[in-house]
Amino acid sequence: MKNYFVIISIMIIFLIPLNASALTEEMLQEWLLSCCELVWIEDKNQPHAYGYNLLRNSNGELVGVIHVTASQYLDNPLFGAFLNEQPVIENVTIEGTQFAVSVFQKEVNNDPAFCFDQKGMGQGDVNGKCFFYTFETNLDATFTANNLMHRITAFSGLHHGFLSEAGDRISVNWTALIPTN
């Protein structure tokens, strides 16, 4: 029997373009050298995020909703550059801490070719149908510098997991709370 493992950034990759034109090449290289380990969110003075995975079948019918709370975030200056690209929709105060609230909405389509052209963690073929399996959702950002594309994971969170098949659509709505004081 095949083992299906947690997929990280294979099935659910949320690509948010990040304009690196404001970054100098030297600064970018330094940040990339110290990038891209995630740190655990342990107290209220760190960034927080939560999201909802909305699963729709190939007919567009809603078949599931999975909540995810980020347990890790990128502690790197690239994280701030990523957040600066998304507008703040509201400022809130929670237990004396002020937060800037931003919303990220991404859509993912499971391409059947992805499953049948390659095998790896998180996807498999069951009776001729391709299925994707995950327990983790990431909020990723991409940016281009020196004609090279780079991808960073800004937030990552575990959830109960779900199976989806090729052709399903997954929309993820993330809300990020970033401490401002």
pLDDT at 10: 31
Question: 11-15, 153-157, 162-166 — which one is most confidently predicted on average?
Answer: 153-157
Specify which of 40-54, 70-84, 161-175 reaches the highest per-range mean pLDDT: 40-54
* Average pLDDT, rounded, for the chain: 75
Query: Which residues on adjacent β-strands are paired with residue 152?
Result: 141
AA identity, residue 29: Q
DSSP-derived secondary structure letter, 124:
E
CA nearest neighbour of 140 among 65, 59, 38, 52? 38
What integer is the mean pLDDT of 35-53? 89
E strands in 47-166 = 48-56, 62-69, 72-74, 88-94, 97-109, 123-126, 129-145, 148-165
Residue 81: predicted pLDDT: 80
Domain boundaries, the chain: 17-179
How confident is the model at residue 44, as a pLDDT?
Answer: 85
State phi, psi for 69 to the nearest 5 degrees. Answer: -115, 125
Crossing angle between the packed helical segments 77-84 and 25-33, to the nearest 10 degrees = 120
Residue pair 172/52 in contact by the 8 Å Cβ criterion: yes
Helix, strand or coil for residue 19?
coil
Distance of CA 15 to the CA centre of its chain: 8
| pTM reported for the whole predicted model | 0.72
Query: Residue 19 pLDDT more than 70?
Result: no
